[in-house]
Structure 1
Amino acid sequence: MTTQAAPAAGSDKLDSGVLKVAGVVVLGAIMSILDITVVSVALPTFQREFNASYADVAWTMTAYTLALATVIPITGWAADRFGTKRLYLLSLVLFVGGSALCAVAWDIGPLIVFRALQGLGGGMLMPLGMTIMTRAAGPDRVGRVMAVLGVPMLLGPIGGPILGGWLVDAQSWHWIFLINVPIGIVAFVLSARILPKDQPQPSESFDFLGMLLLSPGLALFLFGVSSIPEKGTVAATRVLIPAIVGLVLLVAFVLHALRKQHALIDLGLFKNRNLTVSTVTLTLFTVAFMGAMLLFPSYFLQVRGESTLTAGLLLAPQGLGAMVTMPIAGRLTDKIGPGKLVLPGLVLIALGMAPFTMVTPESNYPLLLGALFVSGLGMGMTMMPIMSAALASLTHQQVARGSTMMNIIQQTAGSIGTAVMSVILTNQVLDSPEATAYSAVTQGRVQAGDVPREVLTAGQSSLAGAFGNTWLVAVVLLALCLVPALLLPRRRIEKAEGGTPDEALAVPVAMH
């Protein structure tokens, strides 16, 4: 076994050991994030294969999300108690095992259960990956490693529909799950050899009461929120009861955590100003941007009549834009502070989204693709610097809890953003009989020949207007992000008070 110590504080380069760790973590993150979106294009196939309703097959996505929310809260404690490497290997086993079971599912019920098992593994991959990379690189290079980890976080929603569409068309729906098996095996072998050897800390007592409040609270709240698009109203019983019970449990957890010394989630971290400001900024940003991203493929599919694969390819400029700025932003975050990057990044995203607020059925493709590229440039300058601002000033012992908390917030905000934008779009469509009729045709529920041509033409224009109005709401939310973003650090973030330069670098980069 050879062990490579992390470079001294202030070192500017990511050494080969850190890059190898980053490569392993990104491989796991790509599987986890792609699987959230790759299934979306297979929902119609599930309906046909299992003779199920759309509401039933949609649970193949919801079950995965709820499992993520349930397992993320315990990840920080478990990482401290058992070590990040062991837990990361276990999460890979759960994820790959769940993928293999999904591929052999014989009915929609078992598929939903197996998707939940997959989510238990996938939910731990991202927070554990952030913890491993942050510890390996040290506080002086958090921005750079966050930029590396940001690539799968950005490309997942773009590459997922493309990969899923191709696999379903060229092979069968089973392959959207089977493809994870060889990738997961490679990730497991590389993780076992490359990840730093575990150095678990003395175990704190596990907060069982906190887990009984937080995990079900998150799951019930997200279940209620996820049911809004299906029910079309917040007032539905299936929305209100789980959401209210979930909120009550979450409030009870907050009151419990404020009194307990070693709570499941350390709310004392919010005493750190950088983390608090970053959390507010990340929440608003995720609600606005992730909700808006959901609409891009739907516009190309429903309004422009493109195929699933073409719609996925049309989103590629956004990923390309982010790939241009993300490495640069990661490097500059460590040198000049995140505030100087996040503000112009938000402006670029808003500018890129502006043309979509005025879309029509004939909107110029070069203009829209250029706007997506500009939006991607802004994305590359935004999400990872915000995460870096939150984690860079934490001590070595706080990183696992901090990254776990940021993942919970991001997951919850993303679910809220998706539900909010879906409800706004749905209500816009329902307000227009022509748009409703045209939407029914595009979804295959009504034959085009059964609807008068003039109604289809008017409906197509109305549907485009509904998308534009929904994107306008997203732009307004992005503008609100500028307020907390103004408070982000505009200079290099110093280490947490009381920490030593070597503290955050205590975990070596080991290859064995």
Structure 2
Amino acid sequence: MTTPLEDKLDPALRRMIGVILIGGIMGILDGSMTAVAVDTLSERFDASLSTTGWVSTGYLLALTITIPVTAWTVEKVGGRRLWLFGLVLFMAGSIASGLAWNIGSLILFRVVQGIGAGILDPLMLTLLARAAGPTHIGRVMGVMGIVGSTGPVLGPIVGGLILQGLDWRWMFFVNVPIVIVAFVLARRTLPTEPPEARAAVARLDVLGVALIGPGVAAGVLALSEIAQRGTFTTWQVLLPLALAVVLLAWYAAHALRTRETPPLIDLRLFTRRSFTASVVAAAVLGLATFASIFVIPLYYQQVRGYDVFESGLRLAPFGLGSALVMPLAGRLSDRWGSRNLALTGAAIALLSSLAFSRFDAQTGQLWPLLAAFTLGIGTGSAGAPVIGSVYRTLPPQLVPQGSSVLYMLNQLGASIGIAMVALLMQNAGVGDPQSGFRNAYLAVVVALLVMIVASLFIPGRAVAPQPAPDQPAEDSGAPRLAERVGQEENVK
């Protein structure tokens, strides 16, 4: 019998994983790379900081709006064709952004780039989950997690290095050769779906497209404004927040109504306890991860007086710890199940966060680095098992919807984490960043307690779901979801 370390993936699957990760890494890097360039872009285009902030915000909102549509489009046109289209669109947005002549054109081209990333990011999860199947999903997500966890950490570092030695335009031009390589390899590697596999795709839920994407994006915008302004009580926060509530409530009523056209994202997915627990744990893990990515550099800048680049480098142990442990955690979750690994990882992250809440300007240099490393180990240990558990009982036709839900909730969790940290740091007493930093990490501790509770409901050792029966397009609506999703796995 092979051990989890000896059980090898099929060579074709390994090649496919590598090709997909090459294509997906740039969207993850670009989400955080431009954050360090706000001052540079403001000076170059003679624009205010608030206007320049839309270079990142526009990208994020375009990405968020695109995510739910990807779930339907992949079934309509096929994963390979959609992946290639996403690569071309992302490269076009990158080239155009590098050639931008004013701040308005840069924001517009970043929106195009964000639409490309909104196709690639959730589609990366869908393609990998389908290729891996329930028995290998943990180890595949563990490998993918290296990119997902280190990308946001490396983005500011790579952006800072580019700005130190090259013109700002190279933050976008650097994508071009990587995307070209990814495109060529994807054409050779990704399988082509037969036309009959896409014959029974239902009509697009147009009203759902108009509600859920903009609704989630409005929520992300409200959270971004909270992070920038440090308060809830401004129209820039309250207006998008109210819009998000109205649109998402409208979508919920629309999605639960019986009709011929199935909803874009079927909310009856959440009647499955294992799925709900997994996506909640993933969202809270995203909150804790991005809160840490945001607050650790602030600790070094505001409490210890380091510059931006030095502070970013000291975030590296966090990404390193996560990258080292994720592949092993993914392998072990395939063999032993997700629940115990998720609980262990959340507990390690919680203890590391408690340690961070005790640090101040007099703390020795080594301790924050060690705490960041163990925090990365904790989030990495939980990440692959939690993500893998989302897919283990979903039949193939529901994987795109599961990917969209997972990515949207993870994005919301990340935005909540950043907004929470910014609010606590900015509302700390004048001249007292230490108390803001302590409160921020105590809030992360509370979030990780929520994750531990959610992880208790993640299934133990997984069993493969029964394949869903084929249905004609007119019978594929929401009321038949219970018949399509297969059997719930046994919880030990």
What TM-score comes out, normalization by structure 2 length?
0.90
1:395 alignment partner in structure 2: 395
**1:47 matches 2:45:** no
Q: Deviations over 1:224-247 (max 9, x none)?
A: 221113333212112111211121
Q: What's the CA shift for 1:53?
A: 1.7
Q: What is the SS of the residue equivalent to 1:40?
A: helix
Residues of 2 paired with 1:13 and 1:407: CA distance? 28
Partner Cα distance (1:311, 1:144) in 2: 32
Partners of 1:115 and 1:298 lie apart in 2 by 26
Give, as a single letter, the amino acid of the residue that structure 1 aligns with 2:103: I
CA distance in 2, matches of 1:255, 1:192: 41
- Displaced runs of 4 or more, over 3 A: 497-500
Shift of 1:393: 0.9
AA aligned to 2:180 is I
RMSD of aligned C-alpha atoms? 1.8
* Contact 1:127–1:407, Cα closer than 8 Å, also in 2: yes
49-58 or 368-377: which moved more?
49-58
1:311 and 1:287 mapped to 2: Cα distance?
20
Unaligned runs of 5+ in 1: 1-10, 436-461, 505-512
- What CA distance in whole angstroms lies between the structure 2 residues aligned with 1:487 and 1:230? 35
Q: Deviations over 1:35-83 (max 9, x none)?
A: 0111111111112111222211111111111001110010010000000
1:478 deviates by 1.0
| Identity percentage of aligned residues | 38
Give, in whole Å, the separation in 2 of the partners of 1:88 and 1:483. 36
Q: What's the offset of the Cα at 1:499?
A: 4.8
Residue 133 of structure 1 corresponds to 128
User: Paired residue for 1:254, among 228, 252, 255?
Assistant: 252
Q: Which secondary structure state, in structure 1, belongs to the residue aligned with residue 42 of structure 2?
A: helix
Contact 1:161-1:308 at 8 Å conserved across structures: no
Q: How far off its partner does 1:355 sit?
A: 2.4
Q: Which residue of 1 aligns with 2:172?
A: 177
Aligned residue number for residue 453 of structure 1: none
Q: Is the 8 A contact 2:322 2:376 kept in 1?
A: yes
CA distance in structure 1 between the aligned counterparts of 2:313 and 2:345, rounded to whole angstroms: 24
**Native 8 Å contact 2:326 2:383 kept in 1:** no
2:219 aligned residue: 221
Q: How far apart are 1:279 and its partner, in Å?
A: 1.7
Q: What aligned pairs does 1:19-418 form with structure 2 within 5 A after superposition?
A: 19-199=14-194, 200-202=197-199, 203-259=201-257, 260=259, 262-418=262-418
Please tell me the residue identity of whatever aligns with 1:100.
I
Matching of residue 419 in structure 1 with residue 439 in structure 2: no
| Greater alpha carbon shift after TM alignment, 105-114 vs 221-230 | 221-230
Deviations along 1:281-321, one digit per CA (max 9) or x if unpaired, are: 22222223322321112222333333333222212212221
Q: Is the 8 A contact 2:141 2:388 kept in 1?
A: yes
2:465 is aligned, of 492, 496, 502, to 496
Return 258-267 or 392-401, whichever deviates more.
Answer: 258-267
Q: Distance in 1 between matches of 2:288 and 2:133?
A: 31
1:359-383 superposed Cα distances (whole Å, 9 cap, x missing partner): 2223212111111111111111112
Letter in 1 for 2:209: M
State the secondary structure of the residue aligned to 2:427.
helix
Q: Check whether the contact 1:162–1:308 (CA below 8 A) recurs between aligned residues.
A: no
Alignment correspondent of 1:477:
447
Question: Aligned equivalents of 2:310 and 2:229: distance in 1?
Answer: 30
Code of the residue aligned with 2:262 in structure 1: it is H
**1:76-99, Cα deviation, whole Å (9 max, x unpaired):** 100000001111111111111111
Structure 2 CA distance for aligned equivalents of residues 65 and 53 of structure 1: 19
Measure the CA separation in 1 of the matches of 2:44 and 2:142. 40
- Does the aligned pair in 2 maintain the 1:289–1:474 contact within 8 Å? no
TM-score by length of 1: 0.87
Q: Report how far residue 12 of structure 1 moved.
A: 4.2
Q: Which runs of 5+ in 2 are unaligned?
A: 1-5, 470-483, 486-492
Residues 142 and 326, structure 2, Cα contact 8 Å, conserved in 1: yes
Number of aligned positions between the proteins: 461
Tell whether 2:438 aligns with 1:468: yes
Alignment-mate amino acid for residue 183 of structure 2: F
Residues 11-56 of structure 1: CA deviation (Å, up to 9, x unaligned): 9421111111111111122101100111111111112111222211
> Which residue is equivalent to 1:457?
none
In 2, the alpha carbon distance for the partners of 1:176 and 1:211 equals: 32
Q: Deviations over 1:325-355 (max 9, x none)?
A: 1111111111111001010101111122222
Query: CA contact under 8 A between 2:281 and 2:386: conserved in structure 1?
Result: yes
Give, as a single letter, the amino acid of the residue that structure 1 aligns with 2:460: R
Matched to 1:488, the amino acid is I
What CA distance in whole angstroms lies between the structure 2 residues aligned with 1:359 and 1:172?
37
Aligned partner letter, 1:231: R
Contact 2:283-2:406 at 8 Å conserved across structures: no
